[in-house]
Amino acid sequence: MPIVNLITKEKIAPENKEVLKKEFADVMYEVAGKSENWLMVRFTEEEDIFFHGQPLEEGGIVEIKLVGKLQRGQKEEISKRICDVLNKVLGYGKDSIYIVIQEIEGQNWGYNGSTF
């Protein structure tokens, strides 16, 4: 059950959210084998983001949390593809996108009154 949280400084148009949601689902399925049936996507918008002590002009942070472990190559592919998606859909430079991948043991992830 992955969660992809995109944190941006601006509001994202509803049509772009739909595209991003689909693209994130494709990446997580094709690279990590995680079905969209279990994928949660969150958009955290209009946040203050600073880098090098200065406000970030464009770009964002992508937090990916998932149950299980990925290989290094999978993580690199996810990073590449997420950067490509955000560049294509929102026009972000790849050097202004920060991605954090957090792997969580199933026993530490609750859902539906139980854990994985």
| Residue 107: CATH number of its domain | 3.30.429.10
Residue 86 pLDDT: 98
What is the CA angle 87-98-52, rounded to 5?
115
Residues 6 or more apart whose CB falls under 8 angstroms from that of 113 comprise: none
Q: What is the dihedral of CA 53, 54, 60, 63, to 10 degrees?
A: 10
Q: Cβ of 54: how many Cβ atoms within 10 Å?
A: 7
pLDDT in tens, 57-111: 889 999 999 999 999 999 999 999 999 999 999 999 999 999 999 999 999 989 8
How many structural domains does the chain have? 1
Residue 102 pLDDT: 97
Instruction: Quote the domain boundaries for residue 58.
Output: 1-113
Strand partners, 64: 4, 101
Confidence of residue 40 (pLDDT cuts 50, 70, 90): very high
Residues 6 or more apart whose CB falls under 8 angstroms from that of 64 comprise: 2, 3, 4, 5, 28, 78, 82, 99, 100, 101, 102
- Do the bridges between strand 110-111 and strand 97-104 make them parallel or antiparallel, or are there none, so unpaired? unpaired
Residue 18 pLDDT: 97
Residue 57 pLDDT: 86
41/39 Cα distance (integer angstroms): 7
Residue 1 pLDDT > 90, yes or no?
Answer: no
pLDDT in tens, 19-36: 999 999 999 999 999 999
Confidence of residue 51 (pLDDT cuts 50, 70, 90): confident
4/29 Cα distance (integer angstroms): 12
Residue 96 pLDDT: 92
